[in-house]
Amino acid sequence: MSAHPTTVTPETTAGTTVPVPTVPGVEGGRALNPNVPDGPPQSAWERRRLAYRLVNPANRRKLKVIVVGTGLAGSGAAAALGELGYQVEAFTYHDAPRRAHSVAAQGGINAARGRKVDNDSIDRFVVDTVKGGDFRGREADAYRLGEESVRVIDHMNAIGAPFAREYGGMLATRSFGGVQVSRTYYTRGQTGQQLQVAGAQALLRQVDAGTVTLRTRHEMLDLIVTDGQVQGVVMRNLLTGQITAHTAHAVVLATGGYGNVFYFSTLAKNSNASAAWRAVQRGALMASPSFIQFHPTALPVSSRWQSKTILMSESLRNDGRIWVPAKAGDERTPDQIPEDERDYYLERRYPTFGNLTPRDVASRNATEQIEAGHGVGPLRNSVYLDFRDAIARVGKQAIAERYGNLFEMYTHATGEDPYTTPMRIAPGAHFTMGGLWSDYDQMTSLPGLFVGGEAGWGYHGANRLGANSLLSAAVDGWFTLPYSVPSYLAGRLGSTPLEADAPAVQEALARTRARVDRLLGVGGTRSATSFHRELGDILYAGCGVHRTAASLTTAIDKIRALRAAFWTDLRVPGTGRRLNQELERAGRVADYLELAELMCLDALDREESCGAHFRGEHQIDGEAARDDERWSFVSAWEVPGDGRFVRHHEPLTFDAVPLQTRSYR
């Protein structure tokens, strides 16, 4: 292990041997070209921008782009492309673009602006990001993320995001997990909300200017693919049930992650995987689907019948101390447990990073404490996050200024006052590092289909560092796709979008209508939600914070049986010709049941531990044990739909941040 957590010492170089799949039904595929410019990763983005093809401003209005999703990535891409002069059609299933799930990110957004004298830099940002992802992300992408992070903060500040400021007027920062510098910009505990409002306002400015057509309450149900290119989407109007086709020269999917597959997750209930999964069904590749982040500061499940878990920002770990009773089964209230009978287990095990260890490390340790009988609360399924010492040190007012809205939200959810009683937190399914595979230009394996934000995969490897989520979405939307999409469009100049009567359009419409009719026609007895709950139980037990070959094999068998039951016993009341939320849920759960099997197959196939993918068979002293000789690649899955799964791979190389054992002790 390295002598200092931020010191990178080479240990191995990635091997060239890719293991032959041994999981039944899984086949080996081909090596993928990431399309990263040759040369040092530090300058790859500068060289790629110079190589992109340009479109004359007079020609831009002749080219059309569809953007699905209006979160931080989607609103940024649509607004930027619209302002550049392209025709843009933006879709969201919300009633307004500002309601996209980016609002839920609370704690902050990272940037390597280096305004504090704490030795931060772009290189240090990349080290933290690559190492935080346990060397399972693309190094060149991490450099782009760090380089553009400086522009993101200045841009969002310019368009109205009210970042917190120091006394002298400089933008304020704080720390997040997995780093030892202060690079996280924030707006109290409302950072995602404020960035999303700013992005939505920029989008609506282009709607007013006439460059963007915004369609709300529309859900994507299929892609239109012909001549080897994605040329449109099929949408369902959620109010009327009308199914329509929309064609364009290129499509951008910025539809978020798939954490809701676990049912109990920190995501909004409408967040889903259907747009991305439909792309997979049309031939796109899904990268690292088993890389799921469990947020260490979610609220514990307090009732079997609640609909979701609630996220408490990781920023709370700056001042809160995490602990459990040292004695298993201790039923005393926290105020009755003296200091010497408390186990601050993160501070004990990881003295260098303490409570600011990365999310996968913090979640894994919390799970171990709970399973060992040290859990607290009525269901013994949580640990304490205590602000007693911070309040004594800086005062209640200072803590209220930093986290007041979060404390208020906690009180509303639990009825407890975190100023006087420790919060109770537990790991909850949260962010998906996996997503649609894309090359360095954010284009998927389907030409003409681009991806942005959490729907993609590239930056975060096997574990996302806190506050890199808003950053990656903003970088994709504002500073990557507005370069790479036009370069693709330059080759489409002179072509026109497909007509409504084109065979590919009619085929996609017929396929979508047939699927809706199938969901409505099962005629069983169970709701889609009941199947979703059962699927969540299967995944938490089999493909959760800890996974083993046995748990994953059992989960796969149960998922297949549950999927068979779904298509024989599903009940969807009503029709498809009007507002029907049960039909919406049924379609999304049907996709979850297919995606869940792939998640478990990916986890079973990858015989190593890395980041949030913790296989019980592969650990050293309770820490994840990577196998760089055999698994230093990204698994990108093709799902032909005939029962086979084909694992393609993108080899990973690390030139600027050599492979090392990941340590936060």
Helix (H) or strand (E) holding 410: helix 396-414
How many other C-beta atoms lie within 10 A of the C-beta of residue 651? 15
Q: Which of 317, 359, 547, 647 is catalytic?
A: 359
DSSP β-bridge partners for residue 570? 526
CA 637 to chain centre: 18
- Torsion-angle region of 157 (φ positive above 0: left; ψ -120 to 50: alpha; else: beta): alpha
> Pairing state of beta strands 87-91 and 64-68?
parallel
- 26 neighbors 639 (Cβ within 8 angstroms): no
- CA distances 232 to 68, 241, 251, 504, Å, are 11, 19, 7, 10
CA 275 to chain centre: 14
**CA–CA dist 557, 276 (Å, integer):** 24
Q: Burial-class residue 640 by CB neighbours within 10 Å (0-12, 13-18, 19+).
A: exposed
**CA–CA dist 83, 78 (Å, integer):** 8
**CA–CA dist 434, 456 (Å, integer):** 7
Q: Output phi, psi for 390, to 5 deg.
A: -65, -40
Rg over alpha carbons for the chain, rounded to the nearest Å, is: 24
**CA–CA dist 92, 570 (Å, integer):** 27
Q: Say what the alpha-carbon torsion angle 622, 376, 319, 469 is, to the nearest 10 degrees.
A: 60
- CA distances 45 to 35, 234, 333, Å, are 12, 34, 54
Nearest to 590 by CA among 582, 579, 601, 578: 582
Helix locations, 262-344, DSSP H: 274-281
DSSP β-bridge partners for residue 252? 67, 450
Q: What is the DSSP string of 571-614?
A: ---S-SSS--HHHHHHHHHHHHHHHHHHHHHHHHH--S-BTTB-
**CA–CA dist 205, 195 (Å, integer):** 15
3-state per-residue secondary structure call for 191-203: HHHHHHHHHHHHH
Residues composing the chain? 665
Angle of CA points 187, 416, 379, to nearest 5°: 110
**CA–CA dist 92, 252 (Å, integer):** 12
CA 515 to chain centre: 27
- 239 neighbors 581 (Cβ within 8 angstroms): no
At 291 the three-state DSSP class reads coil
**CA–CA dist 229, 476 (Å, integer):** 21
Query: Tokens in use for 319?
Result: 């001042």
**Sign of CA pseudo-dihedral 95, 251, 242, 523:** negative
Beta strands in 399-475 (DSSP E): 423-432, 435-436, 449-451
How many other C-beta atoms lie within 10 A of the C-beta of residue 496? 11
Beta strands in 393-552 (DSSP E): 423-432, 435-436, 449-451
Q: Answer yes or no: 359 catalytic.
A: yes
Q: Which residues are catalytic?
A: 359
